[in-house]
Chains A and B, each alone.
Chain A
Amino acid sequence: MITCYLQSVGLAAPGLESWSTGRTLLLSGDPLHNDPETPYAPNLLPPNERRRATAAIRQAFRAAEDALRDHASDPSRLASVFASSDADLAVLNRICNALTQPERQISPTDFHNSVHNAASGYFSIAIRSMSTTTTVAAFDASFAAGLLEAATLANIEGCDVLFVAYDVIGPPPLLAVRPTTASGSCALLLTATRGPATLARLDLQTGAGSESVCSGAAAEKLRAGCPALRGLPLLEILAGSQAGECRLKMDAGRILHLIVQPA
């Protein structure tokens, strides 16, 4: 079993614009008002990187910045783990289309944004952290795989780790082969030890079993429609500030069992 401590939460999904407003909505189970989202301009990014940031990077930053909003200590010492099933399919689409043209002219910015770890690279630049940052992918199990990686990093190396899961809907024709119905991101700031701002203790263990679903219908639709939001059952527990447990699906018939104990 791996234990870590949760310091703050970030959230950005249709109808759930931040953790402070989203947690109330998750608790009530009310229908979510899916207003068209305005493009998010990351506050932490220098102007050059902000201009070049793709939709997936902005989606990741939205939750990351939400989690760091009330974080008192210096983010430049933070390690980070990013999880995304598909990173940015719009960039892949532009590159693959460009390669079908006679001149095969790829935009240099598209190329450096095409790496799966683009968001984590932008983030380390934004917070000026030279600590490790890792990006993991596990298709529909990306959230669970990333949370396990982040909790393990915090636990074994004793560092503060920001975990960020993000995925955005792809464009046609890739949408047809990777059909998702929502873009979303969430972030959890994890530490190895309990601190004054600790919200909850998290215990993680892998095993067998069936996955949890959300109790609210609107949240369940988001969970099922976006790989990065597969962790919403955990966020529902955190919204209530009560003890609870949930099971997130991993690959090969395994689940990640999470036990939450509020501080």
Chain B
Amino acid sequence: MKPLTISAYTAVSAAGRGRAALLSALRSGRTCLERKAFDDAQLDCFIGEVAGVASHALPVPWRDWDCRNNRLIDMALRIDGFDQAVAEAIALYGPDRIGVFIGTSTSGVRQTELAFAARESSDSNLPDWYNYRTTQSTYSVADFTRSRLGLTGVTVAIAAACASSAKVFASAARAIAAGTCDAAVVGGADSLCLTTLYGFNSLQLVSSDICRPADADRKGLSIGEAAGFALLERSPGDGRPALLGYGESSDAFHMSQPRLDGAGAMRAMSLAIERAGPGNEAIDYVNLHGTATPANDLAEAGAVVELLGPEIPCSSTKGWTGHTLGAAGILEAVIACLAVEHGVMPMSLNTLTVDPAIKANIVRETRSVRVRRVLSNSFGFGGANCSLLIGHSA
């Protein structure tokens, strides 16, 4: 494929608002996870909570969209000049020629939890303040983003669980190639809620310890929240990072467990490399999906070693932010862009002893080093896999 320039990008996560906060956290090796309860959840675990969501107000015209998830989106759109970059793109292409592709897993489900809790009895209606379309609906994330940015191009929400906001890059790249749009806003958001905390807990995938990707003693996820965006254009990069390739695959194995042979992960990675074309197979760093569940980390590392060999440096950055579920794809694409632009290769934070069964080259200390190309993995329930190749074209 022809590279697509990532002409603007940003993210909000437990590491803070914007690129500088995230880069600073990555360089300092300080985790942003805390052992605390979300709302009144009775689970003993670490979470990656974004500060200031409770007091963040949406601008008046968008008050109907108010929910935790859309507040995260609004926070992200306002930093790093992202909304300004989109305004410049509108002036160049027109609002109808910019597509909007937004990933989410649970959208505004927190609002539905609050609405159910506010009912007088289990046969009462939901409260008047509850708006299904603008909050709970999966489309709400894309609808709000499009409207907030003043765009009228093709708009869609992509829901592939924890691969959602990686797959948006693939859908946007195809739409641009087909001429449906000239540029695209891609991104995603998922926010803390009881559904995912108690849901992953029911599958015994939430660690009571902080998440320790690739560790011999890893016990599962720490859940986080995030929103992030990128602007994709065909224009020359001028040194900015670009989307060089993408690969999508299915495990075709189980709804909530990864294939142990890593074949789905390997297929996604090899398709991304193949699509990027000759010369771009020289990858400097792999940002792993690395959820810190026993099954994921072993299968994924096996796939990396089989495809790219045991020397390729790789790490999961979930030790900083937690697993931000449907926002993980965009958050880690933003980390890939930071790695390329600032020459930083993040360590596998919180990893004490690498699992001897994991043969991959897990980065143990954050390095200041030239990074030209990053492969970023995101895998989700339903066996959805997506790999993005981000960096400078050969």
Q: Which A residues lie at the B interface, using CB under 8 A?
A: 1-2, 49, 52, 85-87, 92, 95-100, 104-108, 111-118, 120-122, 124-125, 127-139, 142, 145, 148-149, 152-153, 155-157, 172-174, 176-178, 206, 250-254
Contacts and interface: CB of A to CB of B under 8 A. Distances in A.
Contacts of A252: 146, 151-153, 155
A131 B250 CA distance: 6
Ranked 9 nearest A-B pairs via Cβ: A121-B382, A116-B159, A111-B199, A132-B248, A137-B138, A124-B250, A177-B132, A96-B116, A252-B152
B158 A134 contact: yes
Contacts of A177: 126, 130-132
Nearest to B177: A156
How many chain B residues sit at the interface, stated as a range, is 35 or more
Contacts of B146: 251-252
B159 A115 contact: yes
B178 A134 contact: no
A115 B382 contact: yes
Nearest to B194: A99
A106 B195 contact: yes
Given A121-B384, A254-B152, A134 B167 contact: yes
A27 to B, nearest CB: 32
A140 B137 CA distance: 11
Nearest to B105: A115
Nearest to B131: A177
Contact of B384 (A111, A117, A156): A117
B143 A116 contact: no
B203 interface: yes
A187 B116 CA distance: 34
8 contacts: A100-B117, A130-B267, A132-B170, A136-B158, A139-B133, A139-B137, A148-B180, A176-B126
A115 B106 CA distance: 7
Contacts of B171: 134, 136, 149, 152
Given A107-B202, A131-B250, A121 B130 contact: no
A191 B105 CA distance: 29
B161 A174 contact: no
B341 to A, nearest CB: 29
Interface in B140-163: 142-143, 146, 151-161
B55 interface: no
Interface stretch (B20-28, B252-260, B287-295, B328-336): B252-260
Given A112-B381, A133-B384, A173-B124, A149 B156 contact: yes
Nearest to A179: B132
Given A121-B250, A138-B156, 15 more contacts: A49-B255, A52-B255, A96-B113, A98-B198, A106-B199, A111-B202, A112-B256, A118-B382, A124-B383, A125-B252, A134-B248, A136-B156, A148-B154, A206-B154, A252-B146
Given A100-B117, A139-B137, A177-B130, A114 B160 contact: no
Contacts of B194: 99, 104
A6 B96 CA distance: 28
Contact of A92 (B112, B142, B203): B112
B105 A122 contact: no
Given A121-B381, A131-B249, A145-B156, A152 B195 contact: no
A135 B160 CA distance: 6
A156 B178 CA distance: 7
Contact of A104 (B109, B198, B200): B198
B160 to A, nearest CB: 5
A138 B104 CA distance: 12
Contacts of B174: 152-153, 156-157
B119 interface: yes
B119 A173 contact: yes
A124 B203 contact: no
Contact of B137 (A85, A129, A172, A254): A85
A129 to B, nearest CB: 6
A13 to B, nearest CB: 22
A125 B383 contact: yes
Interface string B362-394: 000000000000000000111110000000000
A133 B113 contact: no
Contact of A254 (B112, B116, B154, B255): B154
Contacts of A108: 199, 202-203, 256
